């Protein structure tokens, strides 16, 4: 008898009728003889509603209280799903993150899982129950409630799969799998049959919303096979695993985009060893995540400008932190440019194919798209471009690297 972890996102459990549909899918898996741990998100857009209510009271709600508020969303879903399973003759029990033994670091709204004390789950599985766990949440060693950040239910599911030694982890969502690009903006985007952990991790970090980056990272670390598939369509999904057999010659496997990017430039910092460390250590202490970094230092000059990109929602807080530490950092002024986005290409084939970045730059330039910042790794190239050009950029790159062609996607 195998243990399988299945995660159902907010769109999959957005109404009572959808919850009943999910219950019937679970029953099918139980009838195959498998033990199941189910992870669920809050229903539909209920988390957004809670966030909006909080912001009506305070523009900067206390993080601890936000966790107390947002953790309630998943508790609604787990109880309703347990009831739905009971009604169709399936034994089930619901558990909050802390009841399931999920221990996190003491950081509110963006906590990371430190440990899973799996005994409560294993006990319930041993008693023949389907165990339904609230995603996105956990508990500190001191007993405080924490949340894992947006998309954290994916991370909950994969971490639980690793803890209980699951055969695989199924991520059920409102799409049929992982695509070469967002099909909402690229009509010719194709579903991939399989993709490597490394490529999926890059795509997830670069804005592909189908999987949370920490979930992919955890799956890679513990070698947990993932499937991404539809809750509502009986279509074979996409496997995310270590080794894949993509068609020869396919250099780029996906295009991703991220909107609401801001470029910040810290002007006139001392051009000396330790400047970069001092700046980004200060931001890290306040849990500010930065992305692309450019150091515009010139040898022999006493001052340098340092630019970096981050999500627009973090700009106000970042500017406050920098200005509070101006005496320590010793810069002259801060400039910031909003209205930007990031477009990226990802593919393991880049390692052995020089010139991919140059082809990307040429393609964007030929389409009249200005490139503001660039970042590269062995398997990805990212460009910050004006947000008004984001869709055009993604469509251009999808065509440039021949991802529009059906035969370019591996079929098994």
**Cα angle at 31 between 26 and 34, to 5 degrees?**
75
Alpha-carbon gap, residue 111 to 139, rounded angstroms:
9
CB neighbourhood size of 107 (10 A): 16
* Number of residues assigned to the chain: 412
Q: Give the helix/strand (H/E) hosting 47.
A: helix 46-57
Residue (of 41, 23, 37, 1) closest to 124 by Cα position: 37
Q: Write the pLDDT tens digit of every residue in 379-412.
A: 999 999 999 999 999 999 999 999 987 544 443 3
- Among 286, 109, 251, 259, residue whose Cα is nearest residue 182: 259
- Our count of domains for the chain comes to 1
Q: What pLDDT does residue 408 have?
A: 43
pLDDT value of residue 299: 72
In b/e form, how buried is each residue of 154-169, taking b as 16+ CB within 10 angstroms? bbbbbbbbbbbebebb
Give pLDDT tens digits along the chain (412 positions): 799 999 999 999 999 999 999 999 999 999 999 999 999 999 999 999 999 999 999 998 999 999 999 999 999 999 999 999 999 999 999 999 999 999 999 999 989 999 999 999 999 999 999 999 999 999 999 999 999 987 899 999 999 999 999 999 999 998 999 999 999 999 999 999 999 999 999 999 888 888 988 999 999 999 999 999 999 999 999 999 987 665 555 789 999 999 999 999 999 999 999 999 999 999 999 989 999 999 988 777 889 999 999 999 999 999 999 999 999 999 999 999 999 999 999 998 888 888 999 999 999 999 999 999 999 999 999 999 999 999 999 999 999 999 987 544 443 3
Q: Give the structural domain span for 166.
A: 3-174
CATH classification at residue 41:
3.40.1160.10
Query: Is 156:133 a contact under the CB 8 Å cutoff?
Result: yes
Neighbour-count burial of 95, counting CB atoms closer than 10 A to its CB (0-12 exposed, 13-18 middle, 19+ buried): buried
Burial category of 149 from C-beta neighbours within 10 Å (exposed 0-12, middle 13-18, buried 19 and up): middle
Residue 371 lies in a domain: no
Task: Examine residue 148 and state whether it is found in any structural domain, yes or no.
Answer: yes
Let me know if residue 58 belongs to a domain.
yes
Please name which of 122, 137, 159 lies closest in space to residue 1, comparing C-alpha atoms.
Answer: 122
How many other CB atoms are found less than 10 A from the CB of residue 234? 8
What is d(CA 312, CA 372) in angstroms, rounded to the nearest whole number? 16
The Cα 207–Cα 408 span in angstroms is 22
**pTM, full prediction:** 0.85
92-95 and 130-134: which strand pairing?
A: parallel
Residue 186 counted as domain residue: no
Q: What is the pLDDT of residues 283-309, one digit of tens each?
A: 999 989 999 999 988 777 889 999 999
Query: Phi, psi (5° rounding) for residue 327?
Result: -65, -40
Q: Count CB neighbours of 296 within 10 A.
A: 13
Give the whole-angstrom CA distance, residue 159 versus residue 218. Answer: 7
Q: What is the pLDDT of residue 223?
A: 95
Is 158 domain-assigned?
A: yes
Q: Please report the sign of the dihedral spanned by the C-alpha atoms of residue 176, residue 181, residue 182, residue 183.
A: negative
Instruction: Give bridge partners of residue 23 from the DSSP assignment.
Output: none
Say how far apart CA 212 and CA 411 lie, in whole Å: 25
In this prediction, residue 308 carries a pLDDT of: 97
Q: C-alpha distances in angstroms, 187 versus 184, 191, 209?
A: 6, 11, 17
Q: What is the dihedral of CA 324, 329, 333, 339, to 10 degrees?
A: -80
* HSE value, Cβ hemisphere, 13 Å, CA-based, for 345: 30
Confirm whether 347 is domain-assigned: no
């Amino acid at each position: 008898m195998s243990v399988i972890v299945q995660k159902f996102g907010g769109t999959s459990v957005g109404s009572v009728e959808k919850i009943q549909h999910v219950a019937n899918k679970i029953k099918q898996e139980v009838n195959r003889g498998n033990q199941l741990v189910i992870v669920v998100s809050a229903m539909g857009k209920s988390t957004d509603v809670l966030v909006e209510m909080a912001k009506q009271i305070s523009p900067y709600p206390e993080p601890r209280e936000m966790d107390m508020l947002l953790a309630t969303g998943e508790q609604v879903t787990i109880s309703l799903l347990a009831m739905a399973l009971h009604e169709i003759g399936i034994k089930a029990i619901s558990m909050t993150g802390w009841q399931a033994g999920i221990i996190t670091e003491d950081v509110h709204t963006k906590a990371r899982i430190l440990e899973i004390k799996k005994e409560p789950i294993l006990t319930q599985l041993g008693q023949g129950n389907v165990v339904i766990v609230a995603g996105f949440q956990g508990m500190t060693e001191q007993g405080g409630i924490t949340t894992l950040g947006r998309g954290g239910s994916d991370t909950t599911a994969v971490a639980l799969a690793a803890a209980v030694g699951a055969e695989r982890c199924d991520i059920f969502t409102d799409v049929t799998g992982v695509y070469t690009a967002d099909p909402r903006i690229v009509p010719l985007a194709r579903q991939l049959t399989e993709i490597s952990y490394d490529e999926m991790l890059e795509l997830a970090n670069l804005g592909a919303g189908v999987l949370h980056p920490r979930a992919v990272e955890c799956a890679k670390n513990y070698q947990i096979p993932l499937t991404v598939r539809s809750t509502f369509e009986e279509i074979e999904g996409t496997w995310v695993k270590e080794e894949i057999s993509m068609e020869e010659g396919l250099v780029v496997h996906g295009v991703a985009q991220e909107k609401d990017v801001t470029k910040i430039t810290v002007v006139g910092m001392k051009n000396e060893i330790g400047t970069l460390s001092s700046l980004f250590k200060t931001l890290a202490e306040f849990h500010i995540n930065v992305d692309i970094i450019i150091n515009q230092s010139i040898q022999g000059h006493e001052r340098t400008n340092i630019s970096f990109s981050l999500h627009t929602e973090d700009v106000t807080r970042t500017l406050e932190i920098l200005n509070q530490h101006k005496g320590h950092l010793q810069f002259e002024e801060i400039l910031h440019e909003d209205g930007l986005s990031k477009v990226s290409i990802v593919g393991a084939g880049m390692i052995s194919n020089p010139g991919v970045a140059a082809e990307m730059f040429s393609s964007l330039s030929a389409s009249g798209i200005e490139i503001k910042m660039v970042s590269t790794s062995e398997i990805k190239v990212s460009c910050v471009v004006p947000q008004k050009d984001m869709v055009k950029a993604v469509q251009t790159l999808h065509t440039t690297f021949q991802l529009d062609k059906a035969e370019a996607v591996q079929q098994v």
